[in-house]
Chain A
Amino acid sequence: MRVNENVIAALKKAASDSGQPKEVAQRLVAWLDDLATGSVDIASQSDAWTRIAGLLEQVKLPTDEAELALILGEE
C-alpha cells in the first residue's frame, strides 16, 4: 500500500461519520493506490468515471427526507 496511513485513516473516519459503508473508503484508497503505483493515470477521465460509477453503487442514501433535503441544499 503506497497511500499514507493518515490519509487512509481520514478516509475511513470520514466515510464512517457520514454513515457510509467501509467499501466507500476502501474504493477511494484503492484508487489512490493505483495512482501511486502508476497503474492508472489521474488524467484518465474514462477510468475516473468507471470508478465513480462503482463508488456511487456503494454510497448509501439516508432514509430521512429532511436529511436528504439538507444534503441537496448544500449544493
Chain B
Amino acid sequence: MVQVRLLGWKAAGLRCPDHEIDLTRAGGEPHHVSLIQMPNGTGKTTTLELLRAALSGPSAWPDSVMLGEYAPRGATGRGTFEVRLRVDKRRFTIEMALDFDEGKPYYRTTWTSSVARFTRPPSLSRVLTPEFTPFFIFDGEMAQDLLDPKKTRARQALEVQFQLSNLLRFQGYLDEYWDEKSRNVSAKGDKGLTQRKNKLADLTKRRDRLKVERTGLVKKITDLEARHTKLDAEYKARFDQDSKAQEEREHLEKEFERAKDNLATIATSSLSEARKPQNLSPRFTRGLQALRDNLDRLKLPESAAKEFFDELAHDAHCVCGEEMTEARKASILARRQNYLGKEDMGVLNAIKGAIKDMAGASPESYREAFEANLLRLRNAVRERDVAQNELASLEQRRLAGGDAELSTLKTQLDDLVRELDTARTRLSVLDMDDDGDQGDDTDSIKALAKKIKRAGDLVAEATQTRDIRLKTTILKRVISAAVTSASERIAQELVAATNKRLEGILTRSPLRVADICDSVVLDGQTRGSPGQTLALGYAFLLGLFDAGQVSLPFVVDSPTGALDKNVRREIAELLPKISQQLVAFTTSSEYEQFVPVLDRAAQGDVQYLTMFRLNDATRPLLDGLASESVALSANGALVSSKQFFQGFDSEAYGESQPARAA
C-alpha cells in the first residue's frame, strides 16, 4: 500500500491568517491525530479548500471569480499556499500561487525534480484529482453527497480506490490503439475483408484459368509446328515433282535467304549508326566539335606524365628522333609544366579524344555516310521483297498448272499457318509483361500475378486489422466483466463493513446501508439526520480506506459538527481508525464528549494546535505562554499546547464570516 502522509502546510497572503502548520513530531513522523482549533471566521473552511485545491491541481479552479474569494479583503497581488507530503519515503511538495490580479493559479511541484507545473507521483495520479480529494479532505457536504442519487460519489470513490478507474482507462487506451492501427486502412470491418477476399479469389481464378489456357496453347503450337513441318515437307515434295520448278525454287529460296541475311546485317549496322548523333545531323557534329574546342588545351595527368618528361630529358634521343642536346634537355624540363594538369584532366582528355575520333572530320561527311548506309538498307529490303515475290510467283505458276493434290496441300498449309499465327498471337498476349493497365480483366498472366500479390497484401492487411479489432473487443469485454464483478464484490464487502461500524456508532437511531450504487443507498429510508449522515460518511470512508491500495491522510472540518453529543464518543473512537493520520479542524464547542475520547483512542498521540487572528482581543492570550509554543505571523498566532487548547474558548473570539459567492 502506498503510504501518503501530510507533513504540513504554509499559507501567506490569503484570506486566512498567514501561518505555517507542522504536523510532525521531533523524529519527523506526523502525529496520528492533529487537532487544529480555530474560532469561526479564522479560515477553517478556507484552509480545507486550499488543501483540496493544492492537492487537486489547476483543474480545481474553474474560474477567476472563485480564485478571487481567497484574497484577503481588498488585497491584490499573490497569495501562496505550500503543502508538504511524504509518499512512502520520499518528499512531495506542492506550491500553489494564486495571482489575484490575473485571476490565475500557478503551481510548482517537487517530486523527482522541481517543475513549474502540477505533476503527481504516478502512484497518486488517480487520487490527487478534484473528484477524489474531497474523500480525504472531508466535510459535512461531502457526507451529504454520498447519499445523493444524482451524484456518483460513492461508486466513483470505490472505482478510484480499487483501481477500477484504471481498468476503465485501459478500455479507453484500447479504443485509441485500434483507431491508430486502423487509421490508414480502408477496410476496417468484416465486409471490407470479405470484399478483398472475393477480389483475390476472382483474380486467382482468372490467373489459374489463363495458365491452363497457356499450357494448352504451348502444346497446340508444338503440335501445329510439327504438323507444319511435315505438311511443308509433303508440299515441297509434291512441288518438286516438276524438276524445273524444283530447280527454280531452290535457287529462289537461296536468293531469298541470302537477301534476308543481308538485310539483317545492314539493319543491325544501320540501327547502331542511327544512335550516333554525328550521323543524324551536321549540326550535332558541329556542336560536338565546338565542345571539344572549348575544353582546355590538352594536358597530361601530372603524377603519371612528369616522370615521362624527366626520363625523356635524360634519354639519348627525343621522341622525334633527334639527338638529345643540352639545349633540348633544358627546354623539355623548362616547358614540361605547360603540358601537365590535374588528375581530372584525364577525363577531359578522354572526352576530347573521343570527340576527335568519332566526330573529328567534316560535319557533313558523317551524315553523307549514314545516308549511304540507309540507301543500302533500302536496297536490301527491295532485294528481299523481289526474291519473295519471285518465289510467290513461281508458286502461283506451279499451282496454276492443274496439280489438284498440290493445291489441296497448299490450302492445308495456309490454314495451318493461320492457325499457328493465331495461337502464337494469343500466347504473346498471355506472356505480355505490361498489359497497358487493362484492369482486373487483363489476359496478361504476369500482370495478373502482380495484381494477385497486391490483393493478397490487402487481404492480409484487412485480416490483421480485423484481428486487432476482434482482440481489442474481447479485451474490453473481459475488462467490463471484471469491473462489474469486482465492483459488486467490493461494494458488498463495503456495505457489510459500513453496517457493522454503524451498529456500533448509532446505537439509539440505527441506520443501515442496503447497497452502493452510484450513491450510497440506505435500507428502508432515503435520507438520515445530519448526524446519521456524517456517521455514515465516516463509516463508509473507513471501509473504503481500509481495503484500498493507498493509505491517505484524513483531513476533516468540524468532525462532530452535526452530531448529537451521545454519538460523539463513538465517532471519536472511530475517527483515528479511518486513517493512520487524522487532521481535524475544530471549535471549542466540539470539545465535550469528543476530544478526551479521541485522545484515548489515539493513545495520546495527539497534537493540539490553536490558531487565531491577532487583534486587540486576542493579543492578551499570548501573555505567559512559553515562546517556543507560539508562532506569530503578521496577522495570526499559532499555539502548540494541549493546555491552551483545552482552555481556549474559540466561540469568544469568532468573527462573522463575510458572505462568499455561491
Contact A48 B170 (CB under 8 A): yes
Interface residue ranges of A4-62 to B (CB < 8 Å): 4, 6-7, 9-11, 13-15, 17-18, 20, 24-25, 28, 31-32, 35-43, 45, 48-49, 52-53, 55-56, 59, 61
Cross-interface CB contact of B477 among A6, A32, A39, A74, cutoff 8 Å? A74
Cross-interface CB contact of A18 among B190, B469, B474, cutoff 8 Å? B474
Chain B's closest residue to A65 (CB) is: B190
Q: Is A75 an interface residue (CB 8 A)?
A: yes
Cross-interface CB contact of A35 among B1, B166, B176, B477, cutoff 8 Å? B166
Chain B residues contacting A71 (CB-CB under 8 Å) are 470, 473-474, 477
Chain B's closest residue to A72 (CB) is: B190
Cross-interface CB contact of B170 among A13, A14, A28, A36, cutoff 8 Å? A28
User: What separation, in Å, do the CA atoms of A68 and B169 have in the docked complex?
Assistant: 25
Given A2-B1, A11-B478, A72-B469: A42 in contact with B126 (beta carbons within 8 A)? yes
Chain A residues contacting B177 (CB-CB under 8 Å) are 48-49, 52-53
Contact A3 B549 (CB under 8 A): yes
User: What separation, in Å, do the CA atoms of A69 and B123 have in the docked complex?
Assistant: 39
Cross-interface CB contact of B482 among A11, A45, A56, A72, cutoff 8 Å? A11
Q: Is B490 an interface residue (CB 8 A)?
A: yes
Contact A40 B122 (CB under 8 A): yes
- What's the nearest-Cβ distance from chain A to residue B480, in Å? 8
Chain B residues contacting A4 (CB-CB under 8 Å) are 162-163, 486, 490, 547-549
User: What separation, in Å, do the CA atoms of A41 and B481 have in the docked complex?
Assistant: 24
Select the residue from A7, A13, A48 with max chain B CB neighbours within 10 A: A7
User: What separation, in Å, do the CA atoms of A39 and B319 have in the docked complex?
Assistant: 87
Chain B residues contacting A18 (CB-CB under 8 Å) are 474, 477-478, 481
Interface residue ranges of B475-525 to A (CB < 8 Å): 475, 477-479, 481-483, 485-486, 489-490, 493
- What's the nearest-Cβ distance from chain B to residue A33, in Å? 9
Chain A residues contacting B125 (CB-CB under 8 Å) are 41-43
Chain B's closest residue to A4 (CB) is: B162
Q: Is B472 an interface residue (CB 8 A)?
A: yes
Chain B's closest residue to A27 (CB) is: B475
User: What separation, in Å, do the CA atoms of A35 and B472 have in the docked complex?
Assistant: 21
Contact A45 B471 (CB under 8 A): no
User: What separation, in Å, do the CA atoms of A53 and B472 have in the docked complex?
Assistant: 10
User: What separation, in Å, do the CA atoms of A43 and B122 have in the docked complex?
Assistant: 8
Chain B's closest residue to A36 (CB) is: B549
Chain A residues contacting B170 (CB-CB under 8 Å) are 28, 31, 48
Q: What's the tally of chain B residues with a CB closer than 8 Å to chain A? A: 47
Contact A38 B123 (CB under 8 A): yes
Interface residue ranges of B163-204 to A (CB < 8 Å): 163-164, 166-167, 169-170, 173-174, 176-177, 180, 189-190
Given A14-B481, A36-B123: A74 in contact with B473 (beta carbons within 8 A)? yes
Chain B residues contacting A20 (CB-CB under 8 Å) are 474, 478
Chain A residues contacting B216 (CB-CB under 8 Å) are none
- What's the nearest-Cβ distance from chain B to residue A53, in Å? 8
Q: Is B121 an interface residue (CB 8 A)?
A: yes
Given A36-B123, A42-B122, A55-B475: A13 in contact with B482 (beta carbons within 8 A)? yes
Contact A32 B163 (CB under 8 A): yes
Interface residue SS majority, chain B: helix
Chain B residues contacting A56 (CB-CB under 8 Å) are 468, 471-472, 475
Chain A residues contacting B477 (CB-CB under 8 Å) are 14, 18, 71, 74
Chain B residues contacting A13 (CB-CB under 8 Å) are 481-482, 485
Q: Is B467 an interface residue (CB 8 A)?
A: yes
Interface residue ranges of B331-389 to A (CB < 8 Å): none
Q: Is B330 an interface residue (CB 8 A)?
A: no
- What's the nearest-Cβ distance from chain B to residue A58, in Å? 9
User: What separation, in Å, do the CA atoms of A13 and B478 have in the docked complex?
Assistant: 9
Q: Is B291 an interface residue (CB 8 A)?
A: no
Given A14-B482, A59-B475: A68 in contact with B470 (beta carbons within 8 A)? yes
- What's the nearest-Cβ distance from chain B to residue A22, in Å? 12
Chain B's closest residue to A32 (CB) is: B163
Interface residue ranges of B201-247 to A (CB < 8 Å): none
Chain A residues contacting B400 (CB-CB under 8 Å) are none
Q: What mask results when residues 98 to 134 of chain B are scored 1 for a CB within 8 Å of chain A, else 0?
A: 0000000000000000000000011111100000000
Q: Is B295 an interface residue (CB 8 A)?
A: no
Q: Is B2 an interface residue (CB 8 A)?
A: yes
User: What separation, in Å, do the CA atoms of A36 and B163 have in the docked complex?
Assistant: 8
Contact B163 A35 (CB under 8 A): yes
Contact B174 A10 (CB under 8 A): no
Chain B's closest residue to A48 (CB) is: B173
User: What separation, in Å, do the CA atoms of A43 and B481 have in the docked complex?
Assistant: 23
Chain A's closest residue to B172 (CB) is: A48
Interface residue ranges of B1-48 to A (CB < 8 Å): 1-2
User: What separation, in Å, do the CA atoms of A72 and B473 have in the docked complex?
Assistant: 8
Contact B173 A52 (CB under 8 A): yes
Chain A residues contacting B87 (CB-CB under 8 Å) are 38
User: What separation, in Å, do the CA atoms of A55 and B99 have in the docked complex?
Assistant: 47
Contact A10 B485 (CB under 8 A): yes
User: What separation, in Å, do the CA atoms of A61 and B486 have in the docked complex?
Assistant: 25
Chain A residues contacting B493 (CB-CB under 8 Å) are 6
- What's the nearest-Cβ distance from chain B to residue A15, in Å? 5
User: What separation, in Å, do the CA atoms of A28 and B170 have in the docked complex?
Assistant: 9
- What's the nearest-Cβ distance from chain A to residue B488, in Å? 9
User: What separation, in Å, do the CA atoms of A75 and B466 have in the docked complex?
Assistant: 12
Given A20-B478, A42-B125, A42-B166: A61 in contact with B483 (beta carbons within 8 A)? no
User: What separation, in Å, do the CA atoms of A37 and B485 have in the docked complex?
Assistant: 24
22 interchain pairs, CB-CB under 8 A: A2-B2, A2-B549, A4-B486, A4-B549, A10-B482, A10-B489, A13-B485, A18-B478, A28-B479, A31-B170, A36-B123, A38-B123, A41-B122, A48-B170, A48-B173, A52-B173, A52-B174, A56-B468, A56-B472, A59-B471, A71-B470, A72-B473
Additional 19 contacts, C-beta under 8 A, given A10-B483, A37-B2:
A6-B162, A10-B486, A17-B481, A28-B170, A35-B163, A35-B166, A36-B549, A38-B2, A39-B122, A43-B125, A48-B177, A49-B177, A52-B177, A53-B177, A56-B472, A56-B475, A59-B475, A61-B471, A74-B473
Pairs A-B, 10 closest by C-beta atoms: A38-B123, A10-B486, A14-B481, A41-B122, A10-B485, A14-B482, A10-B482, A59-B471, A48-B173, A38-B122
